[in-house]
């Protein structure tokens, strides 16, 4: 087996996990944004309790993917940093303020004013970060970034990333986060035994789920019309992922309807996971289509094997720790905040 193939597989898994876990944390903030004027303190408290212990760990997936990218495929990293100069800078601002907004709000704000201030920062930034990360992903997927195989970029630094697919993915990214958060939060509210909140979140999850279904169909149409290569990939290789996503999405809506909230949360995760994996499959072996491919951009093979060895060894520590975290905080609710 070629090491670059294994590494890109690991990275796809990393992106997927980031979307599923980090995305839901962003989504919680998106909801806080949406409900800023109406949400009660109890509703907010649930949001903060749900993501408090886990968001830092979920965030590391992004760093992991980034590091794997520059270690394993250095020219691809250089090209992305040049081509996505603007959206990545904006995403970083979002990431910074999401993190500090959350931390200040949960550990160090007692007064209503401080809470409102940091809560607002958290909410705005939680929306901006997936928006610009989504736009970055869309810009890559569109195949319209004018990159060269050695990591160069000869497009416009300020506007080269803007096209129909990237704009669509920006909104889609925010939507995915909101959908995941609503689906997970319904289950959290149920586990807290709060029937009223459960109903609120259930309704939100249902509505967002249906909207996301429509949006996905529109997305496929946009891809078909403006990213022909990617569309080709979806038709020939990635269609099973699209089918999976559709089935799982429908399942999660039905489960929400019938108040099977764990099933709904899992269904939502599979729906989104299939989208991410489908994107990867559709553009493989291109890393940044059309010029930069997994094979062309890879580091020397012996280096890749070393990285894979380290990743395997690291996983031996990582996996049990992650399981412990999830068991502690996603099994039953902690009383302690």
Stretch that binds another protein, among 48-56, 175-183, 192-200, 230-238 (CB under 8 A): 48-56
- Note whether 68 binds another protein by CB under 8 A: yes
Q: What, of another protein, ligand HEM, none, does residue 324 touch, CB below 5 to 8 Å by kind?
A: another protein
Q: Which of the stretches 75-83, 197-205, 248-256, 263-271 binds another protein when contact is defined by CB under 8 A?
A: 75-83
For ligand HEM, the closer of residues 60 and 167 by Cβ is 60
Q: Which does 322 bind (CB under 5 to 8 A by kind): ligand HEM, another protein, none?
A: another protein
Give yes or no for residue 312 binding another protein (CB under 8 A). no
Of the residues 2, 9, 42, 93, which one makes contact with another protein according to CB under 8 A = 93
3-state SS record for the chain = CCHHHHHHHHHHHHHHHHHHHHHHHHHHHHHHHHCCCCCCHHHHHHHHHHHCCCHHHHHHHHHHHHHHHHHHCHHHHHHHHHHCHHHHHHHHHHHHHHHHHHHHHHHHCCCHHHHHHHHHHHHHHHHHHHHHHHHHHHHHHHCCCCECCCCCECCCCCCCCCCHHHHHHHHHHHHHHHHHHHHHHHHHHHHHCCHHHHHHHHHHHHHHHHHHHHHHHHHHHHHHHHCHHHHHHHHHHHHHHHHHHHHHHHHHHHHHHCCCHHHHHHHHHHHHHHHHHHHHHHHCCEEECCCEEHHHHCCCHHHHHHHHHHHHHHHHHHHHHHHHHHHHHHHCCCCCC
Report the residue from 8, 15, 30, 78 that binds another protein according to the rule CB under 8 A: 78
Residues 145-164 binding another protein (CB under 8 A) are 150-151, 157-158
Q: How many residues bind another protein (CB under 8 A)?
A: 69
Which residues inside 23-82 make contact with ligand HEM, applying CB under 6 A?
56, 59-60, 63
Residue 296 as a binder of another protein (CB under 8 A): the answer is: no
Q: Which residues bind another protein (CB under 8 A)?
A: 52-54, 56-57, 59-60, 62-64, 66-68, 70-75, 77-82, 85, 88-89, 92-93, 95-96, 98-100, 102-104, 106-110, 114, 150-151, 157-158, 299-300, 302-303, 306-307, 310-311, 314, 317-318, 321-322, 324-325, 328-329, 334-337
Q: Which residues bind ligand HEM (CB under 6 A)?
A: 56, 59-60, 63
């Amino acid at each position: 087996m070629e090491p670059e193939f294994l590494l890109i597989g690991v990275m796809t898994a990393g992106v997927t996990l980031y979307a599923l876990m980090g995305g839901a944390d962003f989504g919680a903030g998106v909801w806080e944004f949406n409900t800023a004027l109406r949400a009660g303190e109890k509703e907010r408290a649930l949001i903060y309790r749900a993501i408090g212990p886990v968001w830092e760990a979920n965030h590391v997936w992004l760093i992991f993917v980034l590091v794997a990218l520059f270690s394993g495929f250095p020219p691809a990293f250089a090209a992305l940093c040049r081509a996505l100069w603007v959206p990545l800078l904006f995403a970083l601002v979002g990431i910074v303020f999401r993190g500090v907004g959350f931390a200040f709000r949960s550990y160090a704000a007692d007064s209503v004013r401080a809470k409102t201030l940091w809560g607002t920062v958290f909410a705005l930034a939680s929306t901006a970060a997936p928006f610009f990360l989504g736009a970055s992903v869309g810009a890559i997927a569109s195949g319209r970034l004018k990159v060269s195989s050695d990591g160069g970029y000869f497009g416009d630094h300020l506007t080269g990333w803007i096209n129909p697919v990237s704009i669509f993915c920006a909104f889609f990214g925010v939507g995915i986060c909101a959908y995941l958060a609503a689906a997970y939060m319904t289950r959290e509210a149920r586990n807290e035994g709060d029937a009223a909140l459960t109903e609120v979140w259930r309704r939100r999850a249902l509505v967002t789920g249906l909207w996301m279904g429509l949006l996905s169909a529109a997305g496929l149409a946009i891809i078909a019309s403006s990213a022909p290569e990617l569309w080709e990939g979806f038709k020939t290789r990635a269609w099973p992922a699209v089918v999976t996503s559709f089935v799982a999405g429908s399942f999660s809506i039905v489960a929400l309807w019938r108040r099977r909230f764990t099933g709904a949360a899992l269904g939502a995760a599979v729906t989104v996971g299939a989208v991410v994996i489908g994107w990867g499959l559709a553009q493989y072996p291109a890393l940044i289509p059309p010029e930069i491919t997994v094979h062309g951009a890879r580091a020397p093979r012996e280096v890749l094997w070393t990285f894979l060895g380290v990743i395997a060894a690291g996983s031996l520590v990582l996996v049990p720790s992650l399981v412990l975290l999830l068991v502690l905080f996603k099994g039953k609710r902690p009383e302690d905040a």
